[in-house]
Structure 1
């Protein structure tokens, strides 16, 4: 079982950390402290906005990959439909040519040339078979042509959708780059002492994890403490918030979505009062940030650039949107 510190202990540690940050902020002249605090607040706000844009960009990339798969299938369906159409058209041409060459008989000619009643019946049977073959071939050709038309329409629609998604991705990437530049500039405006405080690894102590899938995922996430945050990174040397959670559960043998939006729908929902080790905690109304519970009080997460993967108090990370449980 995970060892859970008392709320008093965690609260004390949190207050102590806050005191260190406060101490790192300049105190003279008297007006300097609010300015530094405002700069840090602004940096956090810009980082949150960049995190959302990062998740939007990742989602658009995923949508494009799915749409490309649809396009590939549509193209394959179109190729198969055209092949079937060509084959059936050849069959219809052969039957039509035979008809024009007199290979087909009508009932009167069959009667006139028959030597006996049985011969007549045999000839009529052959005529019916030829007629049936021709009707089936014509129907098959019609169906193949319709299938080819439908496949062409689907392929064209998928192509257009892919183009729109590609344009959307490029726009989201431009928005993200602009937001990152603003956040970086704000980060650089912070004092060196505050930046040093942000860069601390936090609690690096050995933490026991529960057995099972959730424990294994948590084991992986905890092992990433101290690694840097990089927007859009998929590891293993750096992470963003959702790639860390995805990789942790992949390590535990469970496949979940890449974005915080997808992870907000993974598993089943539990209330914040029920949080336990391994639960996925999604933050903000936009569901743009995600962390993994260490226990009912703490969570490990990849926060933002300039801050390494580390443990934080669950409620200090931000307003909780939803808690999802993968196991149990």
Structure 2
């Protein structure tokens, strides 16, 4: 079973942590205190906005990859159709050549040159077969041409969509870079003592996990404590919030989406009162941040730049949007 400290113990620890941060803020002159507090608040706001943009950027990349797959398939369909068209056109040309050279017979010529009734029937059967083959080849040729046209149209449409998605990604990346720069500047404006407190890895003690998939995923997530947060990182030395959760469940043998948006739809929904180890907790109305429950009180998460992967009180991370359970 997961170690579950009492709420009084956890809340007491949080109060103590808050006292440390408060004590780290300058006390003279008096007007400096609100400035440092405002800087910390602004940094948290910018970090949350940057986190959402990061998830948007990742989603756009995923959409582009999907459209590129559609484009590749369309190009493959086009190549197949063109090959079929070339092959069938050759077959039709051979039949046409045979017709022009007199290899095919009309009903009258077949009657005139036949030695017997059976010979006539054989010749007429051959004529009908050639005619049917010709008609079938022509129809197949037309179908192949139509398929090639449709594949071309699909490929062109997919290409245009991909171009638009690429432009969207570039725009989001530029916006993300600006938000990251703002958040970094706000972080740098904090006092050295506050930054040191933020960079603290928190509880690094050994925590037991339950058996099963959720426990294995939690084991992985807990092992990442102390590692740096980097926007868009996929590990193994640095993480963003959703890559940590994705890789944790991959370690447990379960594939889930890369973004917090995808993870907000993974598994099944449970209530906040039902939270247990391994549950995915999605935060904010934008669903731009995720954490993994350690128990009903704590969660481990990669929060933002300048703050390592660490354990925090579930409610202190932010407003909960949805809780998803992958196992059970």
Shorter-chain TM-score: what band?
over 0.9
Partner residue of 2:140? 140
Q: Distance in 2 between matches of 1:105 and 1:279?
A: 79
The whole-number CA distance in structure 2 between the counterparts of 1:254 and 1:76 is 31
TM-score between the two structures when normalised by the length of structure 2:
0.99
1 CA distance for matches of 2:275 and 2:110?
A: 86
Q: How does 1:1-328 map to 2 (within 5 A)?
A: 1-328=1-328
Structure 1 residue ranges without an equivalent (≥5): none
How far apart, in 2, do the equivalents of 1:38 and 1:305 lie? 18
State TM-score, norm by structure 1. Answer: 0.99
Please report how far the alpha carbon of residue 58 of structure 1 lies from its aligned counterpart in structure 2 after TM superposition. Answer: 0.9
| Alpha-carbon distance in structure 2 between the residues aligned to 1:321 and 1:106 | 79
SS in 1 for 2:59: helix
Q: CA deviation at 1:31?
A: 2.3
Aligned-residue RMSD, C-alpha? 0.8
* 1:121-166 residue CA offsets vs partner (Å, 9 max, x unmatched): 1111111110110011001100100010011001111111111111
**Residue deviations 1:193-220 (CA, integer Å, cap 9, x gap):** 1101100010001000000000000000
Displacement after TM superposition at 1:29 (Å): 2.3
Q: What is the distance in 2 between the residues matched to 1:238 and 1:244?
A: 9
Post-superposition offset of 1:27: 2.0
Question: Helix, strand or coil for the counterpart of 1:257?
Answer: coil
Would you identify which runs of 4 or more consecutive aligned residues in structure 1 move more than 4 Å? none
Q: Distance in 2 between matches of 1:99 and 1:38?
A: 90
Aligned residue pair count: 328
CA distance in 1, matches of 2:212, 2:108: 82
Unmatched 5+ residue regions in structure 2? none
Whole-Å Cα distance in 2 between the matches of residues 191 and 179 of structure 1?
Answer: 21
Mapped partners of 1:17, 1:122: distance in 2: 100
